[in-house]
Amino acid sequence: MSSSAHPPGTQRPAAQRIGLFGGTFDPPHVGHLVTAVNVRHALDLDVVILMVNNVPWQKEGSRQITPAADRLAMVAAAVDDVAQLVTGRTEIDHGGHSFTADTLQTLAQEYPGAELFTIVGDDAAAGLHTWTRYDEVVQQSRLVVVDRPGDPVDLPDGVDWIRVEVPRLEVSSTDLRARFVDGRPLDYLVTEPVLDVIVQRGLYGARPDLAGADRS
């Protein structure tokens, strides 16, 4: 949000502890939301930004990625009624490849003096050293890792992680996309407003009759 959104003479609300939770969110699911709200609570963050990657370079070429505008709409629907979770569009506005180091720089300018926290699942954390300018990510923010179900993942050495326990939900966007293909139910794995966006926009080849148990 630009500062012009605040009437003259008023200041933007101070948000001193900002969580950056980036992802492809293709689609966003309850694992993302449970993580975001629990990390927000555990670390007393003012806000957690679900930052929608524009072009997730590490996934490029491996599969078809849903257009950024559609993923943004799904995330907006997911966080719409959730206090202190917001949709981030910095990376989409920036265009091109998405790098967390750049995003943190933008956030540092938008929220001067704020303490930034980069939130990742342990699968993403394990690959931190492959991130572009990861040293900047480590310098500019505190790293927060949550465990996902499955075998424990080795975290890169020499990084000061904050580990936050959240309910481990064995749900992934990959599994959800597969569910769309073969018609298994999605109920309770994504929220209703997200399902509505998926159906309205015809994402994942969704058919209204597959999108929920009783949507009449």
By beta-carbon proximity to ligand ATP, the closer residue of 59 and 215 is 59
Q: Closest separation between CB of residue 96 and ligand ATP, Å?
A: 18
Q: Which of 124, 144, 186, 197 binds ligand ATP (CB under 6 A)?
A: 124
By beta-carbon proximity to ligand ATP, the closer residue of 92 and 146 is 146
By beta-carbon proximity to ligand ATP, the closer residue of 37 and 169 is 169
Q: Closest separation between CB of residue 66 and ligand ATP, Å?
A: 10
> Residue of minimal CB distance from ligand ATP?
121
- At 197, give phi and psi (nearest 5°): -65, -45
Q: Closest separation between CB of residue 10 and ligand ATP, Å?
A: 34
Q: Closest separation between CB of residue 38 and ligand ATP, Å?
A: 9
Q: Which of 99, 118, 121, 128 binds ligand ATP (CB under 6 A)?
A: 121
Q: Could you say which residues in the range 22-61 bind ligand ATP, by CB under 6 A?
A: 23-26, 31-32, 35
Q: Closest separation between CB of residue 8 and ligand ATP, Å?
A: 38
Q: Which stretch binds ligand ATP (CB under 6 A): 11-19, 120-128, 155-163, 208-216?
A: 120-128
CA angle 141, 42, 87 (to 5 degrees): 60
CA angle 79, 83, 84 (to 5 degrees): 90
Cis peptide upstream of residue 112 (ω within 30 degrees of 0): no
- The count of chain residues that interact with ligand ATP, using the rule CB under 6 A, is 18
DSSP string, the chain: --GGGSPTT--PPP--EEEEEEE--SS--HHHHHHHHHHHHHTT-SEEEEEEPSB-TTTTTTSPPPPHHHHHHHHHHHHTTSTTEEEE-HHHHH-SB--HHHHHHHHHHHSTTPEEEEEEEHHHHHTGGGSTTHHHHHHHSEEEEEPPSSS--PPPTT--EEE---------HHHHHHHHHHT---BTTB-HHHHHHHHHHTGGG--GGGS-S---
Q: Is 148 in the site for ligand ATP (CB under 6 A)?
A: yes
By beta-carbon proximity to ligand ATP, the closer residue of 143 and 199 is 143
By beta-carbon proximity to ligand ATP, the closer residue of 32 and 89 is 32
Residues that bind ligand ATP (CB under 6 A): 23-26, 31-32, 35, 120-121, 123-124, 146, 148, 169, 171-174
